Amino acid sequence: MREMTPRERIQAAIALQPVDRVPVIPKLDLFPFRFQGVKLADVVRDADLFQQAVERTNDDLGGGDAIYIGTQVVSELGFAGMGTASKLPGLELGEDEIWQMDEQEVMREEDYDLIEEEGWSAYLDTVYPRLGYSVPVEELPARMRQAADRQIQDLLRWEERGIPVYVGPGVFPSFEMLSYTRSLKATLVDIRRRPEKVSGALAAIAREQIEGARAQAGRIRESTKHRTIAGVIGATRASFLRPEQFERFFWPFLKEAVDVLIELEVTPNLHFDGDWTRYLEYLLELPQGKVVLDLDGSTDIFKAKQILSGHMCIMGDVPASLLTLGSRDDVVAYCRNLIDVVGRDNGFILSSGCSVPIDAKPENVRALIDTAKTYYPHVKEE
């Protein structure tokens, strides 16, 4: 088989087609800063410094087939777009402490009507002053627009270097958004006490999430030669739901988000943290060869392969603990096993299980990348 370009290799894996080797895309959103000796407080304040640290790290490690996220992950806005308070380095935390989502019961019961009747943006305008961010409330809309503009600038920057950006505009499932601002505990109570209110709010959140993804995908298409390959649909908390709750409050909204991203010619990347093993068979209802299941190590990735082989590309899942505490040989052995088993019969992208941890051993991160580039027994079988 001829040598593929990185973009060809990734897109072939997504489409469940043969590849010259397994593509590799480590998630480098935390690791670069400690590796480059840059304090987290500085990269939260300075998007250019954030970008430079990721670029230097990618170069130093030899680079994967794509950059997972090509733009600043967390700024002084924290998690304001989710209606959630944050603790940020250099502000509530020490200069080099990892940013945190400071979950509180920010949303009140009466806010359900506001979200359903006036929308998610109207709710955020109301709730933002409760979150305690350092950015003045009147600056929030402009800062949000600046972040969207910056995503396009950074995409162009990677494009000029010939490096694909894997994820761009995505859709957070409504249940995740609601539970961040209402708190998971209160949301689970509301599901039982006021299910109609919850359903109405979820539908309203979904509408705006989808509108935002459409708008940003359109701007990227107009501004750049190559669009991002995938869009993130991130979820953790819905894995805690009972099946009847899952089917009402999560699954319809997930399917809608998947359909919209496919319509936009963006691959839905299901970034599913936590243990989703019991819900894997639901994913067979999603379009074949169009979606990536991106796992963090909690879901049984081998069970996922067993169920989804020939239907969906799987991404993952070298554990944070192994990258931090294991030896280089341990990482190589784990990656080879993933390639042997999950990489068989196509449809696999090697990656870290969620983010490469900030204190990962550099030699272990290199081993993850190098193993994909040097070990692929299945090509002989094609």
Using the predicted structure, report yes or no on whether residue 141 has a pLDDT greater than 90.
Answer: no
User: Which residues form the domain of 334?
Assistant: 6-381
- Taking only the tens place, the pLDDT of each residue in 213-268 is 999 888 888 888 777 899 999 999 999 999 999 999 999 999 999 999 999 999 99
Q: Which pLDDT score, from 0 to 100, does residue 117 have?
A: 95
pLDDT band at 382 (very low <50, low <70, confident <90, very high): very low
Beta strand extents in the chain (DSSP E only): 67-69, 85-87, 100-102, 165-168, 230-235, 267-272, 292-295, 313-318, 348-352
Quote the mean pLDDT of the chain: 94
Q: Which residue has the tokens 């009140």?
A: 108
**pTM metric for this prediction:** 0.95
- Taking only the tens place, the pLDDT of each residue in 200-215 is 999 999 999 999 999 9
Q: Which pLDDT score, from 0 to 100, does residue 138 have?
A: 86
- Taking only the tens place, the pLDDT of each residue in 28-59 is 989 999 999 999 999 999 999 999 999 999 99
Would you say residue 1 lies in a domain? no
Would you say residue 129 lies in a domain? yes
Would you say residue 36 lies in a domain? yes
- Taking only the tens place, the pLDDT of each residue in 287-316 is 999 999 999 999 999 999 999 999 999 999
pLDDT band at 346 (very low <50, low <70, confident <90, very high): very high
Would you say residue 52 lies in a domain? yes
% the chain with pLDDT above 70: 99
Q: Which pLDDT score, from 0 to 100, does residue 380 have?
A: 57
Would you say residue 345 lies in a domain? yes
Number of domains in the chain: 1
Are the C-beta atoms of residues 230 and 292 closer than 8 Å to each other?
Answer: yes
Helix (H) or strand (E) holding 60: helix 47-61
Q: Which pLDDT score, from 0 to 100, does residue 171 have?
A: 87
CATH number of the domain bearing residue 228: 3.20.20.210
- HEC string of 262-317 equals HHCCCEEEEEECCCCHHHHHHHHHCCCCCCEEEECCCCCHHHHHHHHCCCCEEEEE
Would you say residue 145 lies in a domain? yes
Would you say residue 182 lies in a domain? yes
pLDDT band at 134 (very low <50, low <70, confident <90, very high): confident
Would you say residue 375 lies in a domain? yes
Using the predicted structure, report yes or no on whether residue 381 has a pLDDT greater than 70.
Answer: no
- HEC string of 103-138 equals CCCCCCCCHHHHHHHHCHHHHHHHHHHHCCCCCCHH
